[in-house]
Amino acid sequence: MSGKKTDDSNASDGSGAFVPRPCPICGKMSLARYRPFCSKRCADVDLQRWFTGSYAVPVVEEDRSAFSDDDDER
């Protein structure tokens, strides 16, 4: 290992260099400091959306009645 940072998903050439991409909130070009956002404001807007439940991972609930009582005694 060369010690070079290579886990940057924005680097298209594998060098680990930051490559600006559009901000997912407003569309302006992102800044390395706030990656993947363009500003602290857009980063905070995204965080607020997670906190309020605007973003959610869909979950399929299991029908617990389909399991017998014997399965719960493990």
Whole-angstrom distance, CA of residue 55 vs CA of residue 49: 6
pLDDT tens track for 15-74: 778 999 999 999 999 999 999 999 999 999 999 999 999 988 888 888 777 665 555 555
Q: Tell which wins on pLDDT, 25 or 11.
A: 25
Domain boundaries, given as residue ranges, for the chain: 9-53
Predicted confidence at residue 7, as pLDDT, reads 44
Q: Provide CATH code, domain 9-53.
A: 3.30.50.10
pTM value is 0.57
Confidence band (pLDDT; 50, 70, 90) for 14?
A: low
